[in-house]
Amino acid sequence: MFAHTTLHKITTDTVSDHPFDPFNRKVELYQTWQLAALESLEPGNESSKWARQGFSTRGAPDGAPSFGAGDSRYVVDPQIALGLPKLSKGERRAYRFDVHYWESDKSSEKVRAVFSDTTLSYMARAWEVARADEAKALDLLTGWFDENWEGILTGLVGAASPAALGVITKYNVLPLLDALFKYVKNNGDDYHQMHRYVVEYQGKSDGLKWQVTSPSRGPSGWMDSPSKHQVVENVSDAANSNQYRAEWVFRVVD
């Protein structure tokens, strides 16, 4: 079984580009994402300390698709594939899926580089050296990232799913992801919003069932597999000058 998640379509309502653009008509929108296994209820299950990161690749590394007011475009990007383990009856796996929405400007390359497994791997090592002290770990990351960010994107841009294997650490991975996001939010492009989904899978005698809990709609209810689930969520920046709708498609396939 595989889980496949993609941003299917974006539909804009209101857009406002940067003030220095005299026409103020279009915005370039891209997304980054973080996927992490939630802590397992099974003692000693190290697979729960696992995460992946990635970003939309259209227009990358320093651009993104352009949208004017009223545009509706199929983007089918980012795309994330996850191999699901065979679950015994009643066995459960849960994942936190965070999507971050950005307007492309001068820092798109750096933002995408932060949302790579390479950066996450270094952050996990820095976290260990700093004994889980966030400030110290970020100090270590900053020096390394300033020297290496340009090379991080090599071989990643243009891939359908830039994060392939993910990162395993002995620490709870969620604080690492949150620290990386805080770091890049303060040093990146114009940030719009974050959506957090929780996706759960549970074994049955003849396969598995699954459900998606979305930000505004709550739990979808349990679905058999293979099947798909579509969710449309509103996105806006802090000033509500950019407002659009993001349609995500979640699938479980054989």
Reported as a single tens digit per residue, the pLDDT across 52-81 is 999 999 998 889 999 999 999 999 999 999
175: left (phi over 0), alpha (psi -120 to 50) or beta: alpha
Read off the tokens for 223.
Answer: 């679905």
pLDDT of residue 17: 75
Find the DSSP H helices in 93-219: 108-114, 117-129, 134-152, 173-185
Closest CA to 30 of 184, 243, 160, 192: 192
4: Cα within 13 Å, side-chain hemisphere: 15
The predicted structure's pLDDT at residue 155? 63
Q: What is the pLDDT of residues 21-35, one digit of tens each?
A: 656 678 999 999 999
Distance CA 160, CA 158 (A): 6
CA distances from 110 to 97, 106, 170, 210 (A): 21, 9, 27, 35
Res 212: pLDDT:
98
- Residue 195 tokens read as 């959506």
Give 178 or 158, the one with higher predicted confidence. 178
pLDDT at 18 over 70: no
Write down the pTM of the prediction: 0.92
pLDDT number for residue 163:
46
In three-state secondary structure terms, 161 is coil
CA dihedral 122, 125, 131, 136 (to 10 degrees): -30
Span 158-174, pLDDT tens digits: 554 444 578 998 889 99
| pLDDT at residue 234, as a whole number | 98
